[in-house]
Amino acid sequence: MQETKVISQYIKTLSFEVPDAPAIFIENKEKPDVELSINLDARKIKKDHIYEISLKFGAIAKINNDKILFDLELIYCGIFDLSSVKEDVLEQVMLIYCPTLLFPYLRKIISDVTAESGLNPLQINPIDFAKLYNSKKNTTNSKPQNDL
């Protein structure tokens, strides 16, 4: 892998709500259904070859199909110096390699926040960012050219 330099990692946004606390801790005995979402964003920032890579994560846990146990939104970012990365692989580095480096930190934050809220920690399975990248790339390539 061509050299990438991590300049900084940080929580850009963190929102966590347990709307029915404290009642939820007394009444709830069910395992929640959890809907997860993750999106990536990569953008060049001021300096040449310096990029911000953002992992946008969401989780909504519901019980009884409608009552929200918790709602979590997290944007975890890294700033990377990609000056030594060749142009032909830059997109893959930004959307596969960099998110793979950031993901364990995002995962730990999610686990810690849910555990500290008094709920069972939410354990997120590892994400294959290469598979995610390839599936989005194939979806994009299969669209008609005039579909903008």
What domains can you pick out in the chain, each with its CATH number?
Answer: 5-138 (3.10.420.10)
Res 66: pLDDT: 83
Give residue for tokens 């050299």.
3
Res 147: pLDDT: 37
Are 56 and 75 in contact by the 8 Å Cβ rule? The answer is yes
User: pLDDT tens across 96-140, in order?
Assistant: 999 999 999 999 999 999 999 999 999 999 999 999 999 888 876
The closest of 86, 23, 96, 99 to 57, measured between CA atoms, is 99
pLDDT reading at 148 higher than 90: no
Question: Which residue type sits at 44?
Answer: K
Res 86: pLDDT: 92
Residue 2's pLDDT band, with cuts at 50, 70 and 90, is low
Choose between 33 and 141: higher pLDDT: 33
**Helix 98-116 × helix 129-142 angle, to 10°:** 110
Residue 144's pLDDT band, with cuts at 50, 70 and 90, is very low
Choose between 26 and 62: higher pLDDT: 62
Residue 47's pLDDT band, with cuts at 50, 70 and 90, is confident
State the Cα angle at 61 between 56 and 66, rounded to 5°: 125
pLDDT reading at 145 higher than 50: no
Q: What percent of the chain has pLDDT over 70?
A: 92
Q: Nearest 10 degrees: CA dihedral of 114, 119, 120, 121? A: 10
